[in-house]
Amino acid sequence: MFFGGFIFLLLWFVLFCAAAGLVAYFIVPAIVQKVRHDNALVTLEQRFARGEIDSDEFKKRRQELLTR
């Protein structure tokens, strides 16, 4: 009786780990990409605010980042 319960518990654990792995495989890269994209826009805005790039360059690069 104990052995069957252990196998059942082990099966649920394996299924849970597989589901968590699938979520991590598909969701986490999308989140990381969004954060990197947001950081790139912030950096671009900071460079424009400091005067390192002009308005035309800012608009061009911003449009390029937003179309990705």
- The sign of the dihedral angle between the CA atoms of 26, 30, 33, 39 is negative
User: Which has the higher per-residue pLDDT, 16 or 30?
Assistant: 16
Average pLDDT value for residue range 60-66: 90
Q: Can you list the alpha helix ranges (DSSP code H) found in the chain?
A: 2-50, 55-66
**Which pLDDT belongs to residue 65?**
85
Average pLDDT value for residue range 9-37: 87
pTM value > 0.85: no
Q: Taking each helix axis from N to C terminus, what angle separates 55-66 and 2-50, rounded to the nearest 10 degrees?
A: 160
Question: What is residue 52's three-state secondary structure?
Answer: coil
29 pLDDT above the threshold of 90: no
54 pLDDT above the threshold of 90: yes
